[in-house]
Amino acid sequence: MAWYKDGTKLEKIDDANFDKIWKPGETPPDNGIYECQGCGDEIASNKGVKLPTQNHSQHSPAEGEIRWKMIVCCENR
Ligand SMILES: [Zn+2]
């Protein structure tokens, strides 16, 4: 789970980009924090950069494949 201190810096929005599941090697359109749906690991990822396969812990069979989901999107101007 991602942590934060200053709640005034986060805003809840309902955007479909939060629902998409990404595979390792895919390049999502948003800068943000992505969570692996198998093991719960979180990473920061920049748009245009492939989501990682390396440096990711090995999953148990119960955890299944690495699947990334955006949990926090960074605002860019
Ligand atoms: Zn994982």
Report residue 12: phi and psi, to 5°.
-80, 130
pTM: 0.89
At 20-48, the pLDDT tens digits run 999 999 999 999 999 999 999 999 999 99
C-alpha 57/C-alpha 41 separation (Å) is 9
DSSP strand pairing (21-22 vs 42-45): unpaired
Per-residue pLDDT reduced to its tens digit, 2-13:
999 999 999 999
Give residue 43's pLDDT: 94
pLDDT value, residue 12: 95
Neighbours of ion ligand 1 (CB under 5 A): 36, 38-39, 41
**Side-chain half-sphere exposure of 60, counting CA atoms within 13 A:** 4
- Residue 56 pLDDT > 70, yes or no? no
Q: Ligand 1 centre and the CA of 40: distance in Å?
A: 6
The pairing of strands 68-73 and 42-45 is: unpaired
- Write down the pLDDT at residue 52: 87
pLDDT number for residue 55: 61
